[in-house]
Each structure stands twice: as structure tokens, then as C-alpha cells.
A and B are shown apart, each in its own frame.
Chain A
């Protein structure tokens, strides 16, 4: 038997990071790791983006690696397609959710279809970063939840991180992904801070081998519970967690699933939770009609019908255009509306 010396105490690498800084760090780390990664969009150069996600990248990597474009979203997207065809890994920023619509034809007809059209000969490893959703008191055209448009388009991978650690990890995974990724950044989370172990987050990206446990395609259990499952993604996860906290005070144990990866969708994690609890509420800011939330409900009832004690409910934005700032709190799924939905889950049958 050999006696090993006690390992030295690991250096404390925990740092307090905002969601925005985590994204910025992920971009810088990935640009440092691969010189084919190029960042461009509107105001992403010297200004560092209107949300400062690209802060310092032009200074550090030069104006060929992080640059401003003319103000034209289809142009940005179409140029990214061509660059990806020719050896570059473009990351583009659409300044706001609703400003991405001029690029929609490029996204749907080319970004999403190029691999399939060419039988896999032309791959487009590009990332479309979109600051999205509401809760920041933004004026019109600045708060849309546009995920359903992208999720409905075969060929796109659609991600929505909800934690600081995931913001970092998922953006780096997205940049290394072989297919185009729509990367939805919940604006209201940009300024939230968490303590993260940056060295541990960086470790899986030290070499070029894919991460053993990638976040793409994998939902996370954000809080364990036994009585019902709240399913959310992006900006709604923190609301769901608050609701679960409030429910716990009332003696109800709610599990919270953070979807993270809208496409591909992790049926396994979602269904395992719902089969365990027998009850579920899906939460999303987007209007509920024909939405990602609707898709999740459909998938649960197709797969978990015999485990369900109650119909699966949705708490979503109303089917109206995103409201003016003074009215948005009536629109957004809040803790009370979520708890009201939980109350409707036929507990009397238990």
C-alpha cells in the first residue's frame, strides 16, 4: 500500500461574474482558442455592443476579428453564411430580438437549410447571438420572445441559457458546434451575478475534444422536488425558481427543469421529472399560441399520459404584441400566476 501525499488545497478560482461578463469571457476565450472565430454585427466593435457583450474584443483581437458592419441584419447574416462556407466560424450579434427579423429569410432559407441542400457538403458552423425577451422596461420592438420562429425551423439548433455558468459554457459549445446555432440571451439576466468557478468552467474546453457532458441537447434540473414539475427556459427559469421557493413555504415541493436546449429537445429529462411528479406547468414569456410551450405540453402528454394526475398547464405571455413598459408586468408570467396554475393541478384527486 502506498501512501500518497495529501494534495494541496485547490486554489480558489471562484469569481463573481455577471451573465454579460460570462458571455464576454466565453467569446474572448473561444477567439483566443481558435483564430477562425470572428465576431461581427452592429456596434460590436469599439463600443463593445449595446449590452457590452463584445467589450474589449476589438482591442484584444483586432478589427479583422471583431468588427462593426453596416446597419443591415440580412447583410450580416448572409455574409456570415458565406464566411462559414469558406473556413470562418462567424459569431454574429442581432442587436435586439425584433431587429433580427430582416435576417429571417437568410436564417430560414440558407442558414437552416444549407447542410441539407448540399447533402452535408457545406456545413455552416455559425452562431447567431440574439439578446431576447422582456422584463427590462424596453420600448416596443426590443422585448420579443422570438424562439418559436427559430425552433420551428428544421436545421437550426436553438439554445437559451438561464444561469451565468450556462451562459459561459453554452456559448463556447455553440461556437464549437458543427451546425448553426441560434443563441438566445435573456436580456433581463445580463446584469445578474453569480459566483462561478471559472477554472472549472474552462477545463472542458482546454482541448478540442467535445465536452463529455455537453449542455446542447440536455436540460438541467434546476431544483429538485416531488409534487409537480415547473418547466421553463431562459428568462422564465428564475421566475420558476422563485415560484418553487414560495410553494415550499406553503408545503408544496416543486421540481424546476431548465430546458436550456430548445432544439434539440431533451425529452428524457423532462419526462423523467413529470413521470416522477405526475403534474407539470410549462412557463414561457412568449405568446402561448403555437409556441415552444405548446410543443413541450404536447410532447409530455404523448409520452407521459399514464403518469399524469392532471392536465399539463401553461403559463405564458398573452397572445398580444409585447406590451409597453408600464404594462409588461401584467403580461409576463409571474410567481402568483404560476402558483395559481399549480393550484389548478387537481390536487383533490391525490
Chain B
């Protein structure tokens, strides 16, 4: 992507879907933001953004980049490119790499490689326990003090199921204002689990992943969080019962936040019929009642944010029998369109809530709010995503910038998408209509 030292003038853009405004970017910052015409320098590149919506650059709290270790599935570079295309300016890279990001050395490597690539800010998530083993706390302090400044800790992919280890982790991260992002899955209740346990799993003969395995861990964790006075973030909430428990915990004043994945806003376990492993994901696709509940929870703020759980897998791990397939789906490039389809076009959320739940709050929870998720005001860093909400497109997984194409949304029409992403004033993604401008 060409970088430009030239000023950029974005004209007639709708700020979070509301006020018409003009934005002038100079030296990576928003130099002017006003409704009246801006007297831009003569060499400024002008973007006619009529019909487009400006959001603060999106922030993903839950991305799997696979580097180091599984560069065949994704690299920090390919994942960053996919993120920029999806409208993201910052992503949090989960710790389940090989080696696991459980030491200052690994998180610094991921962080510095992210900076080298320079398409999004890559914030490494540190593992809670050594090797995701669930038994010994990793050196979270060292990771927090490292150049990567880790604030989010997670064994994602595995649950910190031992209540004592979870308690200690919650206590320990208070030292540096960290948060434990829990993958809530009781391991004993989900041994061999292949899909949501219910009517469909009974028909398909697939071992069930009961909702209670998620809900019981969330219930335990919010109580532990209250007891030790710490902060908990619940990853990928997928069930109606989980929403109820988190709503209860928040009403009680417990410091808990939660995220939902785009696929849990749109798909149900009915998709598993046919055994197409692109629909295999953890936590699994649930029922329509659960979809309705997580949508309602997101709309009323019980669920704070949308995160992608972008989980690339190579073909051979998906183009196989269901039982042998890996769990997970890519999602950086489809997240915004799905949120529009499931939440905005249904009237459950407006665009300023999209800005809140896909940019501002993920930045706050992730501890990067000094750099991301800020209002598009004069003087702030120019991290901006332009969205075309009236550009229907058919998802074609083969065209993703990710190294993997395991999207379950192939052939689905989404109503809109990101068309331009700026990271500190530099365009990191431009769709065809704007490409020429920066040539």
C-alpha cells in the first residue's frame, strides 16, 4: 500500500452515520473536522465520501494470527492485511501460537513484527498459564512490562478451568491493570464435543457441546471476579443463558465485559446439517433463541463488543470429515458487513453504537484507548474507517487477503463493507474506487 505524505481531505462523510462532515488529515492526524467546507492545501488528495460513513478505526480484541508456528495458515502480514481490509486499525493477537505467547520474548516478537508490517497495530495477548497448560501462571508481569505492554491475558482455545488458577490470575493482573479474557468452556462437559448439544446434534449423531458448559464457567468467573475485585472479559458469548448471567453480574456491579462473534449473530446449528466443516467453530453455532438473545444482549449493552475470533485454518483441516476438522472460521473481512446485516439493518443498533462496540470499547477493554477508538475530532490520530453501507457484495472466501479461506459466509450477501482504512493517516486499505487516488 502506498503511503502518502500528502494531506487527505475526506469530504461529505457522515460521522458515525449522523452528522455530515469534512475531515482533513495532515501528518497522520485529524487537522480539521467540521461541517463547513475546509480550506485544504492545494496538494491534498480529495476523497468524495458522499454516502459513506466514517467510523474510528475498528479494534478487534480477538484475532488468531498463527505466527509464530503456523505460517501456512496465517502470518502477521497476511492477517494484518485482512484486518485492514475489514476496516480494522488494531487487532489483539491471541496467545495460542507455537511457541505459545507466554513469555516476554514471544510477545515482543509478535509486537515488533506487527510494527514492521505496519498495516494495523498488533497487540499481543499473553497466555494466562505456561503453554496454555492451565496449571502454572505465565510470567504475566514480564509481558506487561515488555515493549509489547500486554494488558489482555487469555488461554483462548482452552479454558482456565481450575478455579484456583483462575482466581490467582484474576488477582495477579491487578498489579498492572490487566484483564483476564476467559474462554469459558468446562472441559469435562465438552469432551469430544463437535457441535451445540440439542435437537440437531441428536439427529446428526455428533457429540454435544452443551450451553451449560459455557454458562457454568461464566457464573463461576463473575463470582470469583467479584470476590477478588478484579476485571474479567468473557470471550465469545454464545448462549442465551450466558447473556442472562452477565446481565445479572453487571447489575450487581461486577467488573465484567463480554464479546460476541459475528457468526453467533447470524448462524445457527441448523447450518451443521450437511457436515460442512466450515461451520465447525468453538464455541459452536447455537440455536435461533441463542442468536436472538446475543443480539438483544449486544443491543442493550450487556455484551459490550463485537470481536471476530478470526481463526484461519488451511484447507486440509476443513476439507475433510467433520470429526477430523479443526474448529474456527476467518472473520476479519466479513465482521462489519455481518454487524450491519444483523444489528444495524434490523434496527437493533445505529452506526454510533457500531463505533462504540467495534472500536471505542474494544480499545478500552484492551488497554489501547490512548491510540484507538477515539472520536474523530481535531487533533486525534487519523485512525479512520470509511464504510459504504449501500454496497451489497457476495462473500467470496477465495478473494480474502487472509492466507486461509475457511469462511462459512461464502455466497452470502452482505449489505455493506469497509472501503477505506487509514492508520495514522496512511491508507492501509483502499477499495477499487479510491485506489487510483493514491497511485
Q: Do A and B come from one complex?
A: no
Q: Which residues of B contact A (CB under 8 A)?
A: none
